[in-house]
Amino acid sequence: MNNPYEALRTGDELDVGVYEAKVIETIRNQVGSGQVLLGLSGGVDSSVCAALLAKAIPGKLHCIFVDHGLMRKDEGDDVEAAFANRNLNFVRINAEARFLEKLAGITDPEAKRKIVGEEFIRIFEEEARKLSGVEFLAQGTIYPDVVESGVGDSATIKSHHNVGGLPADIGFKELVEPLRGLYKLEVRKLGRLLGLPASLTERQPFPGPGLSVRCLGEVTKEKLDVLRDADAIFRFEMEAAGVDANQFFAVMTGLRAVGIKNNARAYGYVIALRAVSTLDFMTAEFVQVPFDVLSRASERITSEVEAVTRVVYDITGKPPGTVEWE
């Protein structure tokens, strides 16, 4: 086991407080007086990684947050606010127009994923070149990433880009991976210990391409804004009711249906709602959300989101469906 962070994993039971003290010492020994660059996505792993590094090497961390305009309602602002008072150099790149231009006319889900992933890397590279003296690249790699990618004696389950997918010459002296010895639940616990808000530590799984794969067909700003509003309402009602679900969200189907708005005929969008229960996300069951919760969500979405005339609920398990629609 050559990685110093992976070596901090000692058995099944782990005291996160003890791990924090040990990993901070490891970070300081590795980085010394150097500077560290981190691509901050706003997800659980990268956010906890950023908070931990800011505590371990204050003033030596540079975080690049690429806001591609494909995040949920107010999410970009929430991420920025969470790191406003931490000792790091935070750079937010508002690239919504750039991503939407690249996605214009694209309807194939895989093409969307590739476009978003490649454009993210291009912007990250452009911003990284503006910094001088940065020798270390930080990543939010966690222990399951290592196991699933078949490192060492483990069988490969699925490759993770941050374990085996980096090029040999990455232009940095070394990788800094302070979460490499932790499971997801431990990462969340460490985030709470570091004072991160629940909006980040308890964040649901969210696809890398963001809302582009929850917006069926061509991605436009109009459809994204409608989806963001509908999704925020559904998530609020689910959380307020305390519905037990591992993941829940709204989908912009791109379909239109006739409805009635303000006592007149309307031709608006159809929004689909999805909630699943799962242990490992390899299989999943749809959640039998109480009818009163679905009813409130539907009533609010159709009345508060002007462009929506109809709401449906997805009752497909995995398999045959997937959790995401695209």
Choose one of 150, 171, 201: the last residue of a domain.
Answer: 201
**Residues 52 and 106 both lie in one domain:** yes
Q: What is the pLDDT of residues 188-222, one digit of tens each?
A: 999 999 999 998 898 888 888 999 999 999 999 99
**Residues 30 and 139 both lie in one domain:** yes
Q: Tell whether the model's pLDDT for residue 165 goes beyond 60.
A: no
Does residue 308 form part of some domain?
Answer: yes
Burial 21-47 (b: 16+ CB within 10 A, else e): ebbbebbeebbeebbbbbbbbbbbbbb
Name 261's bridge partners: 264
Does residue 320 form part of some domain?
Answer: no
Q: Is the pTM of this model over 0.85?
A: no
Secondary structure element (H or E) that encloses residue 248, with its range = strand 247-261
pLDDT level of residue 145 (50, 70, 90 thresholds)? confident
End-to-end CA gap in the chain: 37
Choose one of 201, 231, 257: the last residue of a domain.
Answer: 201
> Virtual CA dihedral for 181, 184, 189, 194, nearest 10 degrees?
70
Within a 10 A sphere around the Cβ of 2, how many other Cβ atoms?
Answer: 7
- Structurally, the chain folds into a number of domains equal to 2
Does residue 326 form part of some domain?
Answer: no
Contact 259, 302 (CB under 8 A): yes
CATH code of residue 276: 3.30.300.10
**Residues 113 and 260 both lie in one domain:** no
**Residues 239 and 99 both lie in one domain:** no
More confident residue, 118 or 162: 118
Q: What is the pLDDT of residues 251-288, one digit of tens each?
A: 999 999 999 998 999 999 999 999 999 987 789 999 99
**pLDDT for the residue numbered 219:** 98
**pLDDT for the residue numbered 147:** 63
Contact 234, 294 (CB under 8 A): no
pLDDT level of residue 172 (50, 70, 90 thresholds)? confident
More confident residue, 4 or 258: 258
Q: Tell whether the model's pLDDT for residue 37 goes beyond 70.
A: yes
CATH code of residue 127: 3.40.50.620
Return d(Cα 161, Cα 159) in angstroms, integer.
7
Does residue 206 form part of some domain?
Answer: no
**Residues 128 and 171 both lie in one domain:** yes
**pLDDT for the residue numbered 4:** 85
Does residue 59 form part of some domain?
Answer: yes
Specify the range with the lowest mean pLDDT, choosing from 142-156, 265-279, 312-326. Answer: 142-156
Give the residue numbers spanning the domain of 221: 214-313
**pLDDT for the residue numbered 256:** 97
pLDDT level of residue 138 (50, 70, 90 thresholds)? very high
